[in-house]
Amino acid sequence: MAHLDLTHFPRVHFNPFGFFARFGKAFSEALHMSRVAEDAMARGETGEALHKTLQREWNALN
C-alpha cells in the first residue's frame, strides 16, 4: 500500500466552534433587533423615528 506524504501541504486549522459562535452571535443580534423593532412599532414609531431607533440600537450592539 502506498504511503501518502502530506508533509508538503500547509496545515489548515478549521475550528467548527468558531463558526458556530459567529453564527450564534449573528442570530442573537438579529433576534434582538427584531424585538427592538417590535417594541418601537408598538410604541407607534414609524419611518424616520423607527430607523433612528434601530440605528442607535445597532450601533450600541457593535
Residues 6 or more apart from 35 whose CB is under 8 A from it? Answer: none
| C-alpha span between 5 and 26 (Å, rounded) | 40
At residue 62, the pLDDT reads 81
pLDDT in tens, 3-60: 666 666 666 666 778 878 888 899 999 999 999 999 999 999 999 999 999 999 999 9
What residue spans define the domains of the chain? Answer: 31-62
Q: What is d(CA 50, CA 29) in angstroms, rounded to the nearest whole number?
A: 17
Cell numbers linked to 37: 423593532
Phi, psi of 8 (to 5 degrees): -90, -5
Residue 7 pLDDT: 65
> Can you give the pLDDT at residue 27?
92
